[in-house]
Amino acid sequence: MERIEAELFTDGGNNAVVRLPGRRFPGVLVQGDTLAQLRADLAEVQEAIAAGDVDDARESLALVLHDVDGLLERYSGALEEHGLPLPFFNHPR
């Protein structure tokens, strides 16, 4: 394990926006339990598709997309607050 100093752009909560040394843009630190839940939610979508349950798949996918949109909003807000441009084209929803 290596100890480093990183820049914290948001509070250190569940999805902290952090820039590591040597990186131009920050990233989002996702806690392991949150990552595991995201994976489980996507597996639920996949299972619904495999079962032919399009309505359930659509509903589950909407929930996952909502969660990812929240991450992007937090990330975008943190960069804006610190005067940094986004490292991607911000697509309208």
Q: What string of pLDDT tens digits covers the 93 residues of the chain? A: 999 999 999 987 889 999 999 999 999 999 999 999 999 999 999 999 999 999 999 999 999 999 999 999 999 999 999 999 999 987 655
What's the pLDDT score for residue 12?
Answer: 78
Asked whether 10 and 16 are in contact (CB, 8 A), the reply is yes
Each domain of the chain, given as residue ranges in start order, spans: 7-81
pLDDT at 9: 97
Distance, CA of 41 to CA of 17 (rounded, Å): 23
Which is it for the CA torsion 13, 15, 19, 24, positive or negative? negative
Q: What is the pLDDT of residue 14?
A: 84
Give the chain's count of helices (H) and strands (E).
2, 3
Residue 4 one-letter amino acid: I
Residue 4 contacts residue 20 (beta carbons within 8 Å): yes
